[in-house]
Amino acid sequence: MVSERAIPNDQRNGYLETTGRKSGLPRETEIWYFAEGDTIFILSGYHNNKDWVKNFLAKPAVRFRIGNQWFSGTARFLENDADRELYARQSLVRKYHGTSELNEWARSGSIVEISIDD
């Protein structure tokens, strides 16, 4: 489903809200993002060992806040689409580093795709 609200891409940081896999409580993480259409892309580093990654793997329903706007969606690793993955990596590095040349951060992390459902 396509979001009825435009997802702003002009903020430096977004805030990913996952549900704690042990506590069941909301957990918010400040994170860099790139938004396009009804999708938000984020990058997971550190061998996907972050709590927010473990949380969305346990419960893929997430929320994402940009400024004062909240978006609900489903998070998953972007897999089996090399062109889309490269596009997401280049878009993230362009937004934060001003170039589409992939640096270590952009090459080494796993792309997480959040499909917005409201």
Please determine, for residue 8, whether its predicted confidence score (pLDDT) is greater than 60.
yes
CA 71 – CA 13 distance, rounded (Å): 14
Average pLDDT of the chain, as a whole number? 92
The structure tokens listed for 61 are 């329903």
Tell me: domain 14-116, CATH 2.30.110.10, correct?
yes
Which pLDDT tens digit goes with each residue over 66-118? 999 999 999 999 999 999 999 999 999 999 999 989 998 888 899 999 999 96
* pTM of the entire predicted model: 0.91
Q: Where are the domains of the chain?
A: 14-116
When pLDDT is averaged across residues 58-65 and rounded to a whole number, the result is 98
| DSSP secondary structure string for all residues of 27-40 | EEEEE--EEETTEE
- Using the predicted structure, report yes or no on whether residue 2 has a pLDDT greater than 50: no
